Amino acid sequence: MTPAEKRELLHKDRERVWHPFTQMKDYAERDHLLIEKAEGLYLYDADGNRYYDTVSSWWVNVHGHGHPRIKQAIARQLEDTDHIMFSGFTHRPAIELADKLIEIAPPGLGKVFYSDNGSTAVEVALKMSFQYWQHVGRPGKTKFAFLEHSYHGDTLGAVSVGGVDLYHATFRPLLFDAYRVTAPRISRWENGSPTPEAAEHGVAEALEAVKRLFESSADEIAGFIIEPMVQAAGGILIHPAAYVAGVRELCTRYEVHLIADEVAVGFGRTGTMFACEHAGITPDLLILSKGLTAGIMPLAATLCTDRIYEAFYDDYETMKTFFHGHSFTGNPLACAVALESLRLFEEERVLEHVRTISEALRGQLPRFEPFRHLGNIRQLGMIAAFDLVQDTETGKAFPSSERRGYHVYLEALKEGLILRPLGDTIYYWLPHCTSEEQLHDIVDRTCAVLERLGYR
């Protein structure tokens, strides 16, 4: 790309494109990073600079960019079908993918409903749960419960069960009513990760809050939606498996659907194929996207139990049909990519590698402990995070106007790192293909960034 082409593209970007989760005025005098190539763990900009994709391109990438097997799967599928409607028609990739997902999912899930992104898959789960109770003679069960700090997407139903005010408060007049439940408080700060001395108390307290809600209101609650083990957009908040197991038991006891949103944490991100496996539980509905296609193409799936499916299975005249669908439901190209990704998981023993790198990451995290204003260092699988705070004993935050995390992001770009923060939370969300050598280099560079910004 010539300098003139780059200037023209960036001018058009500034004039025509509205980027997601972005205050565009931040880019009035600064360009977006123009990426020209992606390969493996790296992104390359138009000037040839290389960056570690330490956030997996927004938590989606699994096997690295440009994996030859993934590209070949797309090319093969293009020889047969690119896209067909999925109502009244079907095709091999969607059938084989559904069969494989049921095989590897927590036991007890029996049906797969496709959509095209995480938010739509959440909408599918909410509507399925609601309509199920209508069909089985429990019409009063019309509400949902969700955890504070939770994030389930940006469509209005998903926002209605979201607990991050920064993203959701503006739209409150448009949302349906839902029950907001206290999340586990399991560190010495209000939010954070499990610590041995606090975990048991935090779990017991949080489960008691769920129990109180169900005792008073289960007759009107259709489902309880959670992000198992890690609340991602809420600040990389990690929960003990005992909490997830306890929620499953309470949902069963009080006849409330457990809806597990594994859009971000599924497909090996936490060290197991699905985060629910840490707790040994099966949800009533399981929501998948992002890593489903190795982060290459848009596709989502909502898995449900046969019991839920059978409540819809009837003569057409009963009007029990699930009237929901999307234009690109079950896209053959995306399904073919997802199948190839799952083959790679098996043939390249990806989960074994994830466990190895997760342990290596755990060994690297103590390197952040000597830094000033860094606290609540935490990790699960390929996910790790720490917070920039005024006081590491109390967790007192810096004024948001200082934008500490944003300045780390800008400085990290100079170091060849993409460290997109969540407020003042700095995190890794590493692709599964990360090597130990690359991991050490990433941590070296992160430490260099923190030193230059005066945190040593």
Q: What is the CATH number of the domain that holds 142?
A: 3.40.640.10
Mark whether 152 and 251 lie in a shared domain. Answer: yes
Q: Which helix (H) or strand (E) holds 211?
A: helix 196-217
Determine the pLDDT at residue 196.
47
pLDDT greater than 90 at residue 114: yes
Determine the pLDDT at residue 29.
86
Residue 224 domain-assigned (yes or no): yes
Q: Which residue type sits at 256?
A: V
Mark whether 367 and 339 lie in a shared domain. Answer: no
Strand partners, 230: 238
Tell me how far CA of residue 116 lies from CA of 120, 187, 243, 408, in angstroms: 7, 36, 30, 33
Contacts of 1 (CB under 8 A, 6+ apart): 9, 36, 46
pLDDT greater than 50 at residue 197: no
Mark whether 287 and 385 lie in a shared domain. Answer: no
Q: Which residue type sits at 294?
A: A
- Listing DSSP states for 113-180 in one string gives EEESSHHHHHHHHHHHHHHHHHHTT-TT--EEEEETT----SSHHHHHT---HHHHGGGGGGSPP-EE
The reply to whether 138 sits in an annotated binding site is: no
Residue 117 domain-assigned (yes or no): yes
Tens digits of per-residue pLDDT, 429-440? 999 999 999 999
Q: What percent of the chain has pLDDT over 90?
A: 91
Which range marks the domain in which residue 186 is found? 71-347
pLDDT greater than 60 at residue 84: yes
The reply to whether 151 sits in an annotated binding site is: yes
Tens digits of per-residue pLDDT, 143-180? 999 999 999 999 999 999 999 999 999 999 999 999 99
Determine the pLDDT at residue 136.
97
The reply to whether 261 sits in an annotated binding site is: yes
Mark whether 327 and 357 lie in a shared domain. Answer: no
Domain boundary among 332, 347, 362: 347
With 0-12 CB in 10 A as exposed, 13-18 as middle and 19+ as buried, what is 79?
A: exposed
Tokens (6 digits) for 145: 């419960």
Tell me how far CA of residue 155 lies from CA of 145, 149, 160, 172, in angstroms: 17, 17, 9, 12
pLDDT greater than 90 at residue 56: yes
Domain boundary among 347, 372, 392: 347
Determine the pLDDT at residue 191.
46
Mean pLDDT within 40-57:
97
Task: Phi first, then psi: give them for residue 322, nearest 5 degrees.
Answer: -85, 95
Mark whether 319 and 372 lie in a shared domain. Answer: no
The reply to whether 278 sits in an annotated binding site is: no
The reply to whether 153 sits in an annotated binding site is: no
Tens digits of per-residue pLDDT, 85-99? 999 999 999 999 999
Domain boundary among 347, 368, 402: 347
Determine the pLDDT at residue 201.
58
The reply to whether 234 sits in an annotated binding site is: no
Mark whether 267 and 127 lie in a shared domain. Answer: yes
Mark whether 312 and 377 lie in a shared domain. Answer: no
Task: Compute the distance between CA of residue 201 and CA of residue 204 in angstroms, rounded to an integer.
Answer: 5
260 alpha carbon, distance to own chain's centre: 11
Residue 325 domain-assigned (yes or no): yes
Residue 58 domain-assigned (yes or no): yes
Is the torsion defined by CA of 186, 189, 193, 194 positive or negative? negative
Mark whether 85 and 49 lie in a shared domain. Answer: no
Determine the pLDDT at residue 449.
98
Mark whether 108 and 238 lie in a shared domain. Answer: yes
Mark whether 412 and 440 lie in a shared domain. Answer: yes
Determine the pLDDT at residue 186.
65
Residue 5 domain-assigned (yes or no): no
Tokens (6 digits) for 228: 């198992």
Q: What percent of the chain has pLDDT over 70?
A: 96
Mark whether 317 and 418 lie in a shared domain. Answer: no
Task: Compute the distance between CA of residue 316 and CA of residue 76 in angstroms, rounded to an integer.
Answer: 38
Question: Contact at 8 Å (CB) between 374 and 386?
Answer: yes
Tens digits of per-residue pLDDT, 224-246? 999 999 999 999 999 999 999 99
Tokens (6 digits) for 190: 């209000």
pLDDT tier for residue 4 given thresholds of 50, 70 and 90: very high
The reply to whether 12 sits in an annotated binding site is: no
User: Count of domains in the chain?
Assistant: 2
Mean pLDDT within 371-398:
92
Mark whether 205 and 261 lie in a shared domain. Answer: yes
DSSP at 276? G
Determine the pLDDT at residue 394.
83
Helices 332-347 and 68-78: crossing angle, nearest 10°? 150
Residue 25 domain-assigned (yes or no): no
Tokens (6 digits) for 113: 């409903």
Mean residue pLDDT of the chain comes to: 95
Task: Compute the distance between CA of residue 307 and CA of residue 286 in angstroms, rounded to an integer.
Answer: 14
Q: What CATH number does the domain containing 42 carry? A: 3.90.1150.10
The reply to whether 420 sits in an annotated binding site is: yes
Residue 26 domain-assigned (yes or no): no
Tokens (6 digits) for 393: 């004993």
Instruction: Say how many Å lie between the first and final Cα of the chain, rounded.
Output: 39
Neighbour tally for 199: CB within 10 Å:
18
Question: Contact at 8 Å (CB) between 177 and 144?
Answer: no
- Listing DSSP states for 250-310 in one string gives HHHHTT-EEEEE-TTTTTTTTSSSSGGGGTT---SEEEE-GGGGTTSS--EEEEEEHHHHH
pLDDT tier for residue 192 given thresholds of 50, 70 and 90: very low
State the greatest distance between any 2 C-alpha atoms of the chain, in Å, as a whole number: 70
**pTM for this predicted structure:** 0.95
